Amino acid sequence: MKRLKKYLTPVIMLIVFEAIAVTLWLTKNNIFYLFNFSYIGISLALGTFLFIRKYSHARRVVQLLVGLYMLIYLGLICRENMQIEGFWYYLFTGVFEAATIHYAVAKIFGPLLFGRGWCGYACWTAMVLDFLPYKTPEKPRKKIGWIRYITFAASLVFVSALFLAGVGGLERIMFLAFIIGNAAYYGVGIILAFALKDNRAFCKYICPVTVFLKPMSYFAMIRVKCDKDKCISCGKCRKVCPMDVDVTDNSRKRENGTECILCMECVRNCPRKAL
Ligand code: SF4
Ligand code: SF4
Ligand code: SF4
């Protein structure tokens, strides 16, 4: 029984996503939602299961399963703009579909439960950036996080301007914006990673989505916590953290606390199993 208990988390995860899948399928009368959220739930549950089984590439498996599905199937084949511009677009048209549902689940209300799990396990931008050589930052964090507010405002202004100007063919423009936007994200993300010797530099300074993610994940229920009785203050957790989180501080105000992507590198590397 005890051996089975450790698999409770993937089971709960699967149940939560199935509940979302079935609810949206029935309320929106669209079987796509059943397929979509079941697929994502199964991918996440599989990743959690592999992590519990101590498979070292568990997180990468989930990143590829979810990230490629969203980028290639939803983005390129179904032509859904799942980036922040797509969110504004669907929001302005008053349609609770695609990007608005995606943002509500993964980036606005979901983080109250699983923090920035999206960034660690599903984002198709980070899926590529995490293959680069600087898995842990080689330089101290820079104080340029304000850039994210400029990119956030730029995305809002761009879509607002299209609506205010009454531009036609918005569906096609949003698809082009998805392709160009992704190419720009990958380009800037890769250049920054090499320039700052930090794979996640784009996430730390540029990504507009963090304007939603950071405040919501402040209240996250799922967090990495430190058992102070076991911790010997060796500093290993901080060293391996890609996001510079002071994970030994259990308060919500811990340094870079809203940056945690739940990658579990600190947990895996703690010599005292204190996390
Ligand atoms: S910060 Fe942005 S680019 Fe980075 S993983 Fe999160 S959503 Fe993706
Ligand atoms: S790695 Fe473990 S023991 Fe070392 S400082 Fe972090 S929590 Fe404490
Ligand atoms: S290493 Fe630990 S504290 Fe840092 S992002 Fe990953 S889970 Fe969060």
Q: Where are the domains of the chain?
A: 56-217, 223-275
Q: Of the candidates 126, 116, 123, which has an alpha carbon nearest to the alpha carbon of residue 217? A: 116
Is pTM, for the whole model, over 0.75?
Answer: yes
Residue 250 Cβ contacting ligand 2 at under 6 Å: no
Rounded to whole angstroms, how far apart are CA atoms 173 and 167?
A: 9
pLDDT of amino acid 9: 82
Rounded to whole angstroms, how far apart are CA atoms 206 and 189?
A: 9
pLDDT of amino acid 227: 96
DSSP at 36: H
Q: Of the candidates 44, 188, 24, which has an alpha carbon nearest to the alpha carbon of residue 102? A: 24
Instruction: Calculate the alpha carbon distances from 29 to 24, 74, 75 in Å.
Output: 8, 19, 22
Tens digit of each residue's pLDDT, the chain (275 residues): 666 677 888 898 899 889 989 998 999 888 998 999 999 999 999 998 998 888 989 999 999 999 999 999 999 998 888 899 999 998 998 877 778 888 888 889 989 988 999 999 999 999 999 999 999 999 889 999 999 999 999 999 999 999 999 888 999 999 999 999 999 999 999 999 999 999 999 999 999 999 999 999 999 999 999 999 999 999 999 999 999 999 999 999 999 999 999 999 999 999 999 99
Q: Of the candidates 21, 31, 48, which has an alpha carbon nearest to the alpha carbon of residue 105? A: 21
Q: Which two tokens stand for residue 21?
A: 């899948």
DSSP element (H, E) containing 226: none
Residues 6+ apart with CB under 8 A from 189: 125, 128, 129, 201, 202, 206
Q: Which two tokens stand for residue 270?
A: 């703690």
pLDDT of amino acid 2: 61
Residue 241 Cβ contacting ligand 2 at under 6 Å: no
pLDDT of amino acid 148: 97
Residue 84 Cβ contacting ligand 3 at under 6 Å: no
Ligand of minimum distance to the alpha carbon of 59: 3
- According to CATH, the topology of domain 223-275 is Alpha-Beta Plaits (3.30.70)
Q: Of the candidates 78, 85, 117, which has an alpha carbon nearest to the alpha carbon of residue 99? A: 85
**Closest protein CA for atom 6 of ligand 2:** 237
Pocket of ligand 1 (CB under 6 A): 119, 123, 125-126, 202-203, 207, 209-210
